[in-house]
Amino acid sequence: MKLLIVESPSKAKTIEKYLGKDYRVVASVGHIRDLPKNNKKAIDIPGGFIPHYEVVKGKEDVIANIKALAKKADEIFLATDPDREGEAIAWHIAQAVGLKNPKRIVFHEITKEAVIEAVAHPREIDMHLKEAQEARRVLDRLVGYDLSGIIWKKVRYGLSAGRVQSPALRILVEREREIRAFKPETFWKILAHLEDKKKNDLAFECSVEPRDKKEVDTILKEGEAGTWKVTDVKETEVKRAPRPPFITSTLQQAASSRLGFAPARTMMIAQRLYEAGHITYMRTDSTNLSVQAKKEIEAIITSKFGANYFEPHSFAKKSKNAQEAHEAIRPTHMDKESAGINDEQKRLYQLIRSRTLATQMKDAVVMRTKIVANIDGEKIPDFHLNGSRILFDGWTKADPAAQGEDVILPVLTKSDPLKLLNINAEEKQTEPPARYSEAGLIKELEKRGIGRPSTYASIIKTVVDRGYVEKIQKALKPTDTGEVVSGFLEDNFNEYISDSFTAEMEDELDDIATGTRTYKKTLTDFYGPFEKDVKDKGSLAKATDLGAAPDKFKCPVCGSSMIVKLGRGGRFLSCSRFPDCVGALTIDGEEIKADEPIGIDPVSGLQVYVKTGRFGPFVQLGEEAKGKGKLKEKAKKASIPKDKKLDELTLEDALVYLSLPRVLGKHPDTGETITANIGRFGPYIVHQTDFRSLKTDNPYTITFERALEILKEPKKTRGFKKKAEK
């Protein structure tokens, strides 16, 4: 019996079918060992950055099973993924199971031919690749652990930082600052509707966008008085070359813009397609296509579109260190037009197949037309009208979504007269730069050399999961916490989150993979200066504690005394016992001091406070009554909406928030009250046990009559109840 070890159970089933009864294929289900969570035990820094690995919880049975099968096996093949991570997993399996001289095989597509070819040509575990992965893992742990410790002291307990995530966060924060600093300018867009001899209404646009209203008035006046004609017609033939086949980053970008898939989701779907044998390995930055794949592509293009559409292309590598997977992402069998077990998989497969076919097709040819018009004497700027038409669709035949639509213009010649129908100006304002989308951030990270193909999706997921970034529609917006963390790192550790440093470190890790740098020297050169900076900044962080706050400042969550700290926005209060109780009750910034009322409720006569708790800022009516347990009477509190700026909060706002729950009236049938409130899942009204979510109505303003209308509507049954009934 021959034993072959892979990472994924679904991959194991596919490969076992190809190899037959003489082989047993088992899965490690990803990593079986990792660094322990306790950093002091994880890495022996004085000994040369030696990592101490532990078996991943729950993987004991996996290791025991592999050991038992290995004892019975005549040959053992390690067939984990063809990248650094896969090489490291292969090494860990060999170490944990105690394998002697296992055979390492790699394949970039799960097809019968590829698997059999790989088994026929085994090699040893590549220790350079393993050390490159290990260096990245150790480096990320050291940087993350040390920076996070400083942030806990300086900013807030529980926050964290990462070697690659922090530069990505900085990019998003820098864009947000550009947006805030942006000052809009007024300009005018001028359109002239002109009619040709055939009565076509043509909308010509002014070639300049004036900032001065006087200039606008002059153009309008001259345009209305002048005699219009065609002053020039330009036709330019333009070729559009096909784009390279997909690599990891471009697949994520295209799937985001075309299919609406988040990068992490794209990688999950691609993983399923790969494991099922439909596409080649999806973590790659190589744009190469194999000779055999090109032959298949040529045959399909010739038979489906015609020989005049085929043209071979080779594409330069996207980066100077194209990683271990030697091919671009492509279908394993090009003749298969559809693949996948669900709609998402089929759509992503179709996207990959279309791009792959297009790479070996002729350029598309487009005729671009520009018609220029002006008045006699040309006393005003030119007005132009643009159009285009496809002369030869070329590669867009395989990828219609990239084709675009023809904009056909009427045939006009120079000096043709034009009749003015109307000319008008629309006032507009310049727009700030747009926030990055997920696809846009990946493109920017790739351009700056930050991260590698396998890390882009996890970088975005990490900054979102940590609460540093939020998704607003398709845009990535830094949160207040994200901006504070990034600002602190920029002020104190800017060198380590700069583009140049991060990209150079990625290159050094690549050099370890090729054997031109050593593991120990790379980490030693980095960690010596870094550790010194961390210690220096750590002392500084402790020095920013300015001492105990006045007695009246108590933590609104646990009641402990507060201490005053110094942050980017000035002094702020922090709980002396649990730093994560209060994030940043600012003293100098927004001038909202703890336990200082913002006004008095005219109805109850109680003072109204703004406080910050574990779940964010809130308003409170009156003081917390003294007492213990159930005898303690709690003051009325209400959350402040996330989009409300604290420095704009008024007493009137606070009283509105404190008005919930609102009793709207008594139901005419039952005599029981109807109440409006905001709960865990959003705003709602309730009558007895009948809860109704408010989709468009506001709980602060909804009327009794409107509530009755909502309660009369049939209540929607949840999907799982319908299934149960069936």
Residue-averaged pLDDT of the chain? 86
Question: Rounded to an integer, what distance in angstroms lies between the CA atom of residue 199 and that of residue 177?
Answer: 50
What average pLDDT score do residues 289-302 get?
94
| pLDDT cut 90: percent of the chain above it | 56
Higher per-residue confidence, 726 vs 611: 611
Q: What is the mean pLDDT of residues 14-33?
A: 91
pLDDT score of 351 more than 80: yes
pLDDT digits (tens, 9 = 90+) for 102-123: 999 999 999 999 999 999 999 9
State residue 587's pLDDT score.
42
Whether 206 and 353 have beta carbons less than 8 Å apart is answered as no
Question: What are the distances in angstroms from CA 378 to CA 163, 192, 611?
Answer: 59, 15, 66
Checking if the pLDDT of 460 tops 50, the result is yes
pLDDT digits (tens, 9 = 90+) for 645-679: 766 778 888 888 888 888 999 998 888 999 998 87
Q: What is the pLDDT of residue 656?
A: 87
CATH class of segment(s) 151-179+442-533? mainly alpha
Residue type (1 letter), 610 = V
Known catalytic membership, residue 496: no
The full set of domain ranges for the chain reads 2-125, 151-179+442-533, 186-239+364-429, 248-358, 562-657, 662-725
Whether the pLDDT of residue 10 is over 90: the answer is no
Residue 92 makes CB contacts below 8 A (sequence gap 6+) with 31, 32, 33, 53
Q: Write the DSSP assignment of 211-257 as a string of letters.
A: S-HHHHHHHHHHHHHSPEEEEEEEEEEEEEPPPPPB-HHHHHHHIII
**CATH homologous superfamily of 186-239+364-429:** Topoisomerase I, domain 3 (2.70.20.10)
Q: Residue 640 pLDDT more than 50?
A: yes
Please report the pLDDT score of residue 597 as a whole number. Answer: 73
Query: Structure pTM?
Result: 0.70
* Angle in degrees, 0-180, between the axes of helices 291-304 and 343-358, rounded to the nearest 10: 90
Q: What is the DSSP letter of 497?
A: G
**What pLDDT is attached to residue 100?**
86
Phi, psi at 284, each rounded to 5°: -160, 150
Contacts of 375 (CB under 8 A, 6+ apart): 222, 223, 226, 227, 228, 229
Summarised one tens digit per residue, pLDDT across range 214-242 is 999 999 999 999 999 999 999 999 999 99
Please, which pLDDT band fits residue 333 given cuts at 50, 70 and 90? very high
For 248-358, CATH number? 1.10.290.10
Predicted pLDDT at 538: 65
Residue 551 has pLDDT above 60, yes or no: no
Of residues 404, 425, 378, 421, the one with CA closest to residue 202: 421
pLDDT at 725: 41
* pLDDT for 453: 78
Residue 593, pLDDT score? 46
Q: Which residue has the higher pLDDT, 613 or 369?
A: 369
Place of tokens 């471009």: 250
Confidence tier at 574 by pLDDT (50, 70, 90)? low
The pLDDT value given to residue 317: 60
Which of the pair, 161 or 453, is modelled with greater confidence?
A: 161
271 closest CA partner among 77, 8, 93, 462: 8
Average pLDDT over every residue of 558-585: 54
Closest listed residue to residue 10, CA positions, set 396, 283, 274, 296: 274
The region of weakest confidence among 253-257, 422-426, 685-689 is 685-689
Q: What is the DSSP letter of 640?
A: P
Whether the CB-CB separation of 711 and 718 falls below 8 Å is answered with no
pLDDT value at residue 311: 96
The C-alpha atoms of residue 164 and residue 384 are separated, in whole angstroms, by 47
Q: Which CATH architecture has domain 2-125?
A: 3-Layer(aba) Sandwich (3.40)
Cα 656 from chain centre? 36
Query: Please, which residues bridge with residue 565 across strands?
Result: 572
**Mean pLDDT, residues 326-345:** 94
- CB-based contacts of 407: which residues, under 8 Å, 6+ apart? 386, 387, 388, 389
Per-residue pLDDT of 44-84, as tens digits, reads 999 999 999 999 999 999 999 999 999 999 999 999 999 89
pLDDT band at 615 (very low <50, low <70, confident <90, very high): low
Residue from 30, 37, 40 nearest 54 by CA: 37
689 versus 543: which is more confidently predicted? 689
Question: Active-site residue among 274, 281, 309, 496?
Answer: 281
Closest CA to 105 of 188, 3, 195: 3
